[in-house]
Amino acid sequence: MDGKFPKILVTVVGLIIVLIIGLIDYLTGFEFRFSVFYIIPIFLVTWFADEKFGLVISAISLLVWFYADLTSGQVYSHHLFHIWNFLITLIYFVIITILLISLKKTMEREKELARRDFLTGAANSLSFYDLLQIEINRLNRYNHPFSIAYIDLDNFKVVNDQYGHGVGDRVLASIVGTINRICRKTDVVARLGGDEFAMLFPETDQYKVKIIVNKIQNSLLKKMKSNNWNVTFSIGVLTMLDHPPSAREIVHLADELMYSVKNESKNNVRYSVYPG
């Protein structure tokens, strides 16, 4: 939404709608009630722009409505009725806006949770493939390289069987925590299933990724050793320089690199560049 319809544009459109509704409200007089229609721009701006802008539009809607009400020709038995109507409409607009903000945040939170691995907090496979596709598009358009790493845990099943699934879960969570403390904000760690993880390194060529992955591997091994967990890591790292294949093919190639490590010596990293 932000790309096609910038927040400021949505807010301007919302403001125009408020003024149009206010003009109709003013021209039709007190016999027609238009306060409910101000919810349209309030919803539009709150949902598609920003909560703060939504509150601003709500306040402007209230003032426009109040002006139309004052000039409608309606005669009240006491001037306090104007104030009473103002307060009631204020409460009405505020409640609607707060409910919209709350609903929007709840839906955004649920959407985010649906893209996260519950146990580790890492991105899940759905999120990872979406982000990987973004990097593929960036490479095709701007020729910016990126790298991915496929990580498989060595001896994890032994730890799981020996210490139980509770310790196994701690191992998985500590891996993600360790990686997140090291990697850049733009990097992404995802749990693809079981004891397999993937990392996405945007704007990272074959030279930079070696430095990053080496640091990650050493930190992970140190973490495992400090907890007496006999777990090591087989890692395949693939750097995309040009003409990338599909997201699933890229992950498959990185997976093959990882398995070549696992089948030979384990606890090592193998690097490759595409196209080779």
Mean pLDDT of the chain: 93
pLDDT in the model for residue 85: 87
pLDDT in the model for residue 2: 47
Q: Can you list the domains of the chain with their CATH numbers?
A: 7-113 (no CATH), 125-274 (3.30.70.270)
Condensed to tens digits (0 to 9), the pLDDT of residues 231-268 reads 999 999 999 999 999 999 999 999 999 999 999 989 99
Using alpha carbons only, give the angle 142, 130, 250 rounded to the nearest 5 degrees: 70
Strands of the 146-154 sheet, one edge to the other:
188-193, 196-202, 146-154, 232-240, 268-274
Q: Are 192 and 128 in contact (CB under 8 A)?
A: yes
pLDDT in the model for residue 135: 98
Phi and psi at residue 270, in whole multiples of 5°? -120, 130
Question: What secondary structure, in 3-state letters, does 46-114 show?
Answer: HHHCCHHHHHHHHHHHHHHHHHHHHCCCCCCCCCHHHHHHHHHHHHHHHHHHHHHHHHHHHHHHHHHHC
Closest residue by Cα to residue 202 from 190, 185, 181: 185
Condensed to tens digits (0 to 9), the pLDDT of residues 151-193 reads 999 999 999 999 999 999 999 999 999 999 999 999 999 999 9
Condensed to tens digits (0 to 9), the pLDDT of residues 36-86 reads 999 999 999 999 998 999 999 999 999 999 999 888 877 777 778 888 889
pLDDT in the model for residue 5: 62
Q: What percent of the chain has pLDDT over 70?
A: 98
Q: Are 187 and 199 in contact (CB under 8 A)?
A: yes
This model's pTM is above 0.85: no
pLDDT in the model for residue 110: 86
